[in-house]
Amino acid sequence: MKITIADVAKFANVSKSTVSRVLNKSGPVSQETKEVVLNAVNNLDYRPNQVARSLATKQTNTIGLIVPDIRNPYYSQACWHAERKFQQENYTVVICNTDNDDIREKTYLQVLLDRNIDGILSIGGEEDLTNIINFKSRKNIPIVLIDRDIQGYDIPSITLDNYYGGMLATEYLLELGHKNIAFATSDFTQAERLRRQGYKQALQNANIKIRKEYILSHTEEVWRSGEFLDDIIELFDSSNPPTAIFASNDFKALRILSVLKANGLTIPDDISLLGYDNIEFSSMTEPALTTLSQPIDKMISDGVNMLLKYINNEQVDSNKMIVKPKLIERDSTKVFR
């Protein structure tokens, strides 16, 4: 027999309206009464009718989580943190993987709208933010961006200083004595483009020529397959090969590591290698990967808290937060002599 709200009220010796106020947080109830009602809910194993509850509260307790490529360990880790944090606040998460496709992103935004989600957390993604801007301008649904920002629009975001990170990584390699530094990227995200800009600026500050052949740019699918990365090896057969490679994320760095090893090259003796993100696997490779760490767990936690405040119409101290990455020095880089 299905337990109803009337059964809970009878068990707790309170009115149905009191039970409703406790469950929906829709009115004042003493702490003592709240505990009695929740005890009755637990004892009877009562499960509220979510459709009726959403009609009463005008909330579905559902969050849309948009990511560009869940196969990337960085985004997998971000999703894990976000989902766990939302679950602690009694929210269900709908994960939408766009595969770096703006059409899929637009479709997912409409799907989330049709599901009456309470808010959206968008993590990373392409530099083209047209879908987010258009959606936000037409719909009054809270959106918070992680590691993606929209200049000139009042859309909340928590971003890593990727330009600074690109400079920091390149300056570190310069300090080790490297001058011929390649940069590996796919250039599909705003974060990657800013890291490339930081890389170029650091070289310019050191009066070092930026070489087009040192920019190793491929689509995400090419980096994932690893089948067409001949340009990495061809660089070593050139008259002026790089002595270090800075990859725009750890996934690409690990792909490069496997390609170099497969061609008989040793890291860091033949070439230094530096990544970005400090994903869990970066410390488990041989050699362990030097990388830049971004506090993804804190960024996600702050993003979730910010989104929930907007959903609950609470005061938000700042809707723009910027954090800086930290260099993690391991065994894949060495002094160049």
Q: Taking the CA atoms of 133, 134, 135 and 136 in sequence, report the sign of the dihedral they define.
A: positive
pLDDT of residue 1: 64
- In the predicted model, residues of the chain with pLDDT beneath 70 are 1, 26, 48-58, 226-228
**How many whole angstroms separate alpha carbon 152 and alpha carbon 155?**
9
pLDDT of residue 57: 52
pLDDT of residue 181: 97
pLDDT of residue 159: 93
Strand order in the sheet with 92-97: 92-97, 62-67, 119-123, 143-146, 157-160, 320-323
CA atoms within 13 A on the CB side of 144: 27
pTM to 2 decimal places: 0.79
**How many whole angstroms separate alpha carbon 252 and alpha carbon 240?**
22
pLDDT of residue 51: 47
**How many whole angstroms separate alpha carbon 228 and alpha carbon 221?**
10
Please state, as a whole number, how many other Cβ atoms lie within 10 Å of the Cβ of residue 194: 21
